[in-house]
Structure 1
Amino acid sequence: MDVPARLRTADPASVAAALAAVRDGSATKDDLRLLTKHYLALLEAKAPGRSVEVRVPPYAAVQCVEGVRHTRGTPPAVIETDAATWIALAAGEIAWHEAVDRGSVSASGERTDLTPYLPL
């Protein structure tokens, strides 16, 4: 069953331009916001569910991955990272275990290994 993404993906030209800006060091907050939301929307579509909450403050958060669904309060599985790390993970520029090992990603609870879903 297809679950519609809560966030919308961005158009390919905007994604390419924002990625280029990230790579050359000229990215703005708008570029980071666009890419963060775009990649979270792709994750939400690729791993539908509500057992893991992925947070990339201050830009967005999604719930994904099949499993036990929570309805109130802090979910049992939470992943949090910054925008630059999330973009690098989603684009395949860093591996999940590397980001976790160096402390760029905080992941607690079951199903918080996003390796099967990355890169996007």
Structure 2
Amino acid sequence: MPARLRLADPVAVREALGRVAAGGEESDRADLRLLVKHFLAVLESRAPGASVEVRVPPYAAVQVIPGVRHTRGTPPAVVEMDALTWVGLAGGELSWGDAVGSGRVSASGERTDLAPYLPLHQPG
């Protein structure tokens, strides 16, 4: 079983969110890595399971959502997106429907609708 991701320090998350919001596409990779891993850890805690693999390359991937456990090979249910999309979804700046509809999220298989779990962070 892969190691679970750890939550980041709340102050570090708030500061990284501010820098990412100010920098957009030019955000520092360290900030994106911190936020991606932090928000994937939050998702893991809120949607424990192993039926859907959520990938945010090149930073991390987690298995979440209750259901049939995936153990080897290509998972039957995969959600994949870039880091800025994931941070936008987690922070509530982007809706799941808009992200999927615009092609910013690739989702295939059962239980890949993450809308019930989003957003993961409330500003403030």
Tell me the TM-score normalised to structure 2 length.
Answer: 0.91
The runs of at least 4 consecutive aligned structure 1 residues that moved more than 2 Å come to none
Give the CA RMSD over aligned residues: 1.0
Shift of 1:37: 0.1
- Matches of 1:18 and 1:70, distance apart in 2: 32
Who is 1:11 aligned against? 9
- Written as runs of structure 1 = structure 2, the 5 A alignment for 1:1-120 is 6-25=4-23, 27-120=27-120
Distance 2:45 2:89 in 1: 16
- CA positional deviation for 1:27: 2.4
Question: Identity rate of aligned residues, in percent?
Answer: 68
Unmatched runs of 5 consecutive residues or more in structure 1: none
| 2-structure distance, mates of 1:100, 1:80 | 10
Q: Secondary structure at the match of 1:80?
A: strand
SS of 1:90's equivalent?
helix
Distance 1:35 1:12 in 2: 11
- Measured in 1, the distance between the counterparts of 2:59 and 2:71 equals 22
- The one-letter code sitting in structure 2 at the alignment partner of 1:77 is A
Q: How far is the alpha carbon of 1:68 from its aligned partner?
A: 0.6
Secondary structure of 2:93's counterpart equals coil
Number of equivalences? 116
Structure 1 Cα separation of the partners of residues 46 and 8 of structure 2: 16
CA distance in 1, matches of 2:22, 2:94: 17
Counterpart secondary structure, 1:100: helix
Specify every segment of 5 or more residues in structure 2 that has no aligned partner in the other structure, as ranges: none
Alpha-carbon distance between aligned partners in 2 of 1:70 and 1:38, rounded to the nearest angstrom? 23
3-state SS of the aligned residue for 1:107?
A: strand
Secondary structure at the counterpart of residue 74 of structure 1 = coil
